[in-house]
Amino acid sequence: MIQLDSVSVHLPQGYLFKDITVQINSNDKIGLVGKNGAGKSTMLKLIAEHNKPTEGAIHKPKDCTIGFLTQDIVLDTSQSVFDYLVHSNKQLKTIKDRIDEINAALVTREDYESEGYLAMLDELNDLNHEFSVNEGFQWEEKVIGTLIGLGFKEKELQRSLSTFSGGWKMRAELARILVNQPDVILLDEPTNHLDIISINWLENYLKTYAGAVIVISHDRLFLDNVTKRTLEISGGKVLDFAFPYSKYKEVRAEELIRLSQAKKQQDKDIKHTEELINKFRAKKNKAAFAQSLIKKLEKTERIEVEDDSIPSMKIGFPLSVQPGKWVLELENMGKAFGDNRLFEGVNITVGRGEKIALLGANGTGKSTLLKRVMNELDGEGTVTYGHNVNIAYFAQDQAESLDKTLTVLETVDHVAKGEIRKSLRSVLGAFLFQGDDVDKKVSVLSGGERTRLALCQLLLSPSNFLILDEPTNHLDIQSKEVLKNALKSYEGTFVVVSHDREFLDGLTNRIWEIEDQNLRIHHFDVKEFLKRKSEQQQQMMKPAPKTTPKAEEKKESSKPALSYHEEKELKRKKNKLKNQVNKAEQEIERLEKEIAELDEIIANLNYDDKEKAESVLGKYHELKESYDQQMSLWEEATEGLIELE
């Protein structure tokens, strides 16, 4: 469908990439990867025709449509979110406007037998058919479904785009691209401004998308689940792998081993050739031979190996001091900004050793809750720290607070204590600062490098309780793996906000979810949480049955009278269902009490006693499963009663 033919991009400092030839097919799902600065975003801009290649050409069909989500979007913010999407399909808008125009004209005309009137009726019929073929009658429903899937609430759809933050504007633009179903979708870091629920929705949407998708992302799980092919920009070339990201990494690692071995042999051969040249170039009878060796050496294509593997050093950050049994207590916590209530009535005790993921849609108050915990914001309720608690806090803008006059090594040297100071260079190496990198000034580091350094500094600071607000923002896949490994070995307690599912998977043992101004506690993993949220979302998006009171009356009145035996059978079925409802309600009430009692036990649970903790959590899971089963029975019986009545 799209052909990149010998494409090159030349910058003042040299070629970004050169002589690239790639074929993109109609249903390809491609992950575009490479080191920062390799040219990934530039490649998407070329395909979208935002930029032109220095050399070569890009061929595509004339009718090929492309949707491109960039990092620097420009929107018409004078419209509401809903209008921005509804009016974005020019073909449907043109047809709809003409249909409205004809309908308005037909109302005023009375020349029913004239050729002009009949011609308008024919045109209206053709337009309605075209509108139907292009799914125009489902257009508004698709718009609303896409916006809700990406996290917008129905009550927000008529709000002006100008009232939303940059992240929500990015969601609106993404929704506009998706709902118009272009032949090719180009996405540059689409998950950056999405919460964990919306990422899950987008992933499911793209997996079954009929067109081609090319995505740049630092979310490993997103790439694995969406893509089936990986293009890597490396050393100015494009390497093509018929695998999703994780499988590509395995194949690429094996290839790098072979390349490294080939490079060693090549270096050895080059050294030997250079020795021969130096030996024979001064001898008259060997000068021609030396010149042939020089030409051969000049023509040799040098093997280059780009290795992005993570250092295998296992880092352990010791606790500053051992805290008490509980480390944090929140009583009647709440926060509102004017009329905007974020949460209220939060009562939680955090036990020593808990690993907590704080989740929720954007704007529900996750960062605000953390700031209340740190007493950086006023609000309702009280915050109490446990005995010997030392908190280290990573805010979303933490990297900007680093002293830019210091070097990388000086930054961590100022906070590190104890034995670990002897191995600071190794620790920095594990955070991808190697060799001369440790002597760089903070002022010259990129955003991702500063974030890595701020996280390394945080973990080296004396603490036993970490609070991390979006620590994975601006981190590439390798850096996130380094951070995850460091947190896995951390012996203290932590609360982390992140929308990266792969990062959270296997890292936490409890989930806090902020929703509808409440904080709920879940004792299952991120995968189970997302599965349940996805099921809830699908249920909510099912269209409600469209019936009017008059229709119901007509339907009721048209029912034939029941015989004595039919009445008796109906009564029997109703009684049976009522008994099922009552029994389920009693069982649900009993289970709710037991779950509430167990919640209090879990809140003060000592996770150091693994056997007891596993037993308590196992019982909790059993109760939750029983509760879910009773709820299903209650729903089925209630629905059956409604149908009978």
pLDDT digit string, tens, across residues 215-248: 999 889 999 999 999 999 988 899 999 999 999 9
Mean pLDDT over 383-405 rounds to 90
Q: Which strand ranges, in their side-by-side order, compose the sheet holding 391-394?
A: 391-394, 465-469, 493-497, 355-359, 510-515, 518-522
Q: What pLDDT, on a 0 to 100 scale, did the predictor assign at position 276?
A: 81
Q: Does residue 572 register a pLDDT over 90?
A: no
Q: Please, how many CA atoms are within 13 Å of residue 552, restricted to the half-sphere of its CB?
A: 7
Contact (Cβ atoms closer than 8 angstroms) between residue 330 and residue 383 = yes
For 518-538, write each residue's pLDDT tens digit.
Answer: 999 988 888 888 888 777 766
CB 277 within 8 A of CB 300: no
Name the least confident of 56-60, 210-214, 465-469, 541-545.
541-545
pLDDT of residue 228: 95
> pLDDT higher for 118 or 59?
59
Question: What's the confidence (pLDDT) of residue 564?
Answer: 57
pLDDT more than 90, % of the chain: 32
pLDDT at 558 exceeding the cut of 60? no
pLDDT exceeds cutoff 50 at 513: yes
Give the span between the Cα atoms of 196 and 185, in whole angstroms: 21
Mode of pairing for the β-strands spanning 380-385 and 326-337: antiparallel
Spatial CA neighbour of 396 closest among 629, 116, 193, 133: 193
pLDDT in the model for residue 557: 44
pLDDT at position 387 is 92
Tens digits of residue pLDDT in 135-146: 888 899 999 999
pLDDT at site 298: 83
How far lies 266's CA from each of 261, 279, 301, 306, 604, in Å?
A: 9, 20, 10, 16, 63
Q: Cβ contacts of residue 215 below 8 Å, gap of 6+?
A: 30, 31, 32, 186, 187, 190, 206, 222, 223, 226, 227
Higher-confidence residue of 320 and 259: namely 259
Mean pLDDT over residues 63-75, rounded?
87
- Mean pLDDT on 240-259: 89
Q: Is the pLDDT of residue 574 over 90?
A: no
- 116-120, 496-500, 623-627: segment of lowest average pLDDT: 623-627
Alpha helix ranges (H) inside 548-609: 549-557, 564-603
pTM for the model stands at 0.68
pLDDT tens for each residue of 4-48: 999 999 988 888 888 999 999 989 999 999 887 788 999 999 999
Distances 411 to 431, 433, 457, 458, 581 between C-alpha atoms, Å: 14, 12, 7, 11, 64
Mean pLDDT over 381-385 rounds to 94
Considering only CA atoms, which of 219, 248, 244, 250 is closest in space to residue 229? 244
* Residue that is written with structure tokens 């992302």 in the block: 217
Neighbours of 422 (CB within 10 A): 9
**Mean pLDDT to the nearest integer, 320-344:** 89
Tell me the average pLDDT of the chain: 84
* Mean pLDDT of the 298-309 span: 73
Alpha-carbon distance of 403 to 107, in angstroms, equals 73
Higher local confidence (pLDDT), 329 or 279: 329
| pLDDT 10s digits, 158-206 | 999 888 877 788 899 999 999 999 999 999 989 888 888 888 889 999 9
What is the arithmetic mean of pLDDT over 613-640? 78
76-107: pLDDT as tens digits: 788 899 999 999 988 898 998 899 888 888 88
Q: Write down the pLDDT at residue 607.
A: 66
Q: Mean pLDDT over residues 563-577, rounded?
A: 69
Q: Where are the beta strands (DSSP E) in 441-525?
A: 465-469, 493-497, 510-515, 518-522
347-382 confidence digits (pLDDT tens): 999 999 999 999 988 778 899 999 999 999 999 999
The closest of 41, 473, 526, 487 to 218, measured between CA atoms, is 473
pLDDT at 432: 81
- Decide the pairing of beta strands 29-33 and 229-234: parallel
Whole-angstrom distance, CA of residue 320 vs CA of residue 117 = 87
> What's residue 542's pLDDT?
56
